[in-house]
Amino acid sequence: MLPQVEVGKNCILKDCIIDRHCVIPDNMHIGVDKELDAKRFRVSSSGKVVLVTEAMLERLKGNEVVEESHLD
């Protein structure tokens, strides 16, 4: 977890990298269900690490986000 990250109550974070300025909402589970993680976030080619960015979390809330080409 990078600096300036807020984690809500009752979260489970396993084998993940959380980018700066992310706000993880209450009750979010990351790194627990790899199939669900692959739909919501970016999973490493090995399938062992989940990357979470602020833009990915905004998309989950239904907000439109500019493309994150810096992750390619």
Q: Is the pLDDT of residue 63 over 90?
A: no
**Does the pLDDT of residue 68 top 90, yes or no?**
no
Burial code of 7-30, b = ≥16 C-beta within 10 A, e = fewer? eeeeeebeebbbbeebebeeebeb
| Position 20 pLDDT exceeds 60 | yes
Backbone phi, psi, residue 53, to 5°:
-115, 165
pTM as predicted: 0.84
Residue 53 half-sphere exposure, CB side, CA atoms within 13 Å? 12
Question: Residues 21-60: pLDDT tens digits?
Answer: 999 999 999 999 999 999 999 999 999 999 999 999 999 9
